[in-house]
Structure 1
């Protein structure tokens, strides 16, 4: 079974505002509210691609938390979230037509007791299960949290996928995650450099393999992607041609696509192509990638 982890889920309020001006009253032209969080995006794309999975994490028992659960249940996303008493599930505002511009909430406060409830659920994972650890953590949780989870499960034969930044990622590396997926900016930040080309990414992806990651998938938006396999192979790919509609969730879709492709054929290049196809499918769509669009893009690569 595949499990996704979203420690800090959200309701994403996605709007377009023509001629946005600071200090002025701005009115939306389009708007929608969707369940969000990196792990949830991964779960939904996996589901779209026909891969069963269960979403885990923390969610508050207030109105935002209940609406978040209502939305993912409407979408038939299987889940087993831990209920959190303090704070509120985030509402994130995202300006769709000003790419990369958003205001994200801070999330709830998660106690040690609530964290232990999640550990109890994780202790049920078995040999060859896949656990995808994605995104940020809320207040009350230490930066070592993903590392602690991996340490706790390391003797069970669980495969770990980590899509996180800074200390969350650094503390996970000693436990040899099967896959990590930084973007080029996040990878550069770890080493204090700016990485703008696929060629420049390769040596730093190798460095992070030396620190423990088995496979490294680096997303680069319009520059394409780079994949370093544990076999020593290095793959680079240009971004497929298409019209960017909205970039939100593209990196999460890449994770879901890679995992789907790898499960299908146990072949890293096929997984890489599926990852790039799924990421692009989301970027070129109003919502998250569908199987039909992913397969259509795959055929063009």
Structure 2
């Protein structure tokens, strides 16, 4: 298996709970709360480990929430490198409304990083990128970090003959694509912004994904289409895949689980279609779990088998 490194510049201590109804100006008595170490790259590494692999998770941490975050992630025995910062690691808050089944997600702004802090993070990543391996740079950039941060990470990866996967949005994603990455997973709206078009049909979205590949911006573009399934565009062509029917409890972390399963299967030497199938299974398995819980290996393997049967 080729080594995997994940990067989370703006991790979050995920707090989740539930209440009967969300009502303005009222005290809402909540059920038990749950704490999880969250953030794109951290979740990717956690899923890789749950599915039997291993990844080194590099993340920033500071303040009391950063210390709580560190304790939680260490309890999972995940290989990590924590980059110290002065500001306090942010929190995210998820509330399930029991009376309606709705979910409310509150994502707080991250701490501002000084130039020496984000430069230190970049230096640590550059020293840690595995030669010939995979780098997953995922999540938003906190205040103070330049838009081309992930583009710099991509250049560092190229310098070590590593494949870079970038999962973010806006200017940070556009800058990374100018360097040429291995895989991106934009939403339909983000894909439209990248190609400068309004994508109002499924075929338009598929064509736009193929255009990113043709441009050389990404070798692989993953696009989920809700109940219609998912599409993977690559230099080998277009792969369509239906999604397994599951009871959705929460979609938090489903995208990170998709990436975790995909990069693990690719790192293990499996072909792209097998990795794509595992990714769809992992995203669906995470949607089956409550709040901020991630997928379970048994569910992923069962859904993978179902997808094989549907093919």
TM-score (norm: length of structure 1): 0.93
CA contact (8 A) 1:99 1:247 kept: no
1:75 equivalent in structure 2: 76
Task: Show the 5 A alignment for 1:35-184.
Answer: 35-60=37-62, 62-85=63-86, 87-97=87-97, 101-124=104-127, 125-184=129-188
1:299 equivalent in structure 2: 305
CA contact (8 A) 2:133 2:267 kept: no
What is the rounded CA distance, in whole Å, between the counterparts of 1:22 and 1:137 in structure 2? 31
Matched, 1:212 2:217: yes
What is the rounded CA distance, in whole Å, between the counterparts of 1:100 and 1:221 in structure 2? 17
CA shift at 1:91, angstroms? 1.1
What's the secondary structure of 1:3's corresponding residue?
Answer: strand
Using the TM superposition, name which of 167-176 and 10-19 deviates more: 10-19
Gaps of 5+ in 2: none
Gaps of 5+ in 1: none
What is the rounded CA distance, in whole Å, between the counterparts of 1:109 and 1:294 in structure 2? 37
Q: Measured at CA, do residues 59 and 261 of structure 1 come closer, stay the same or move farther in structure 2, by a change above 3 Å?
A: same
CA contact (8 A) 1:242 1:284 kept: yes
CA shift at 1:36, angstroms? 0.8
What is the rounded CA distance, in whole Å, between the counterparts of 1:99 and 1:255 in structure 2? 25
CA shift at 1:127, angstroms? 2.3
Q: In the TM superposition, what whole-angstrom CA distance separates every residue of 1:251-280 from its partner, at most 9, and x where no partner exists? A: 000001111222334311101101100100
What's the secondary structure of 1:300's corresponding residue?
Answer: helix
1:230 equivalent in structure 2: 235
Q: Measured at CA, do residues 289 and 167 of structure 1 come closer, stay the same or move farther in structure 2, by a change above 3 Å?
A: same
What is the rounded CA distance, in whole Å, between the counterparts of 1:268 and 1:81 in structure 2? 31
CA contact (8 A) 2:42 2:59 kept: no
Q: Measured at CA, do residues 17 and 192 of structure 1 come closer, stay the same or move farther in structure 2, by a change above 3 Å?
A: farther
What is the rounded CA distance, in whole Å, between the counterparts of 2:225 and 2:16 in structure 1? 23
Q: Measured at CA, do residues 236 and 208 of structure 1 come closer, stay the same or move farther in structure 2, by a change above 3 Å?
A: same
CA shift at 1:109, angstroms? 1.6
CA contact (8 A) 2:199 2:205 kept: no
TM-score (norm: length of structure 2): 0.90
CA shift at 1:23, angstroms? 2.9
CA contact (8 A) 1:178 1:214 kept: yes
2:24 equivalent in structure 1: 22
CA contact (8 A) 2:4 2:267 kept: no
Q: In the TM superposition, what whole-angstrom CA distance separates every residue of 1:19-67 from its partner, at most 9, and x where no partner exists? A: 212232222234212111111111110000111111112111x110000
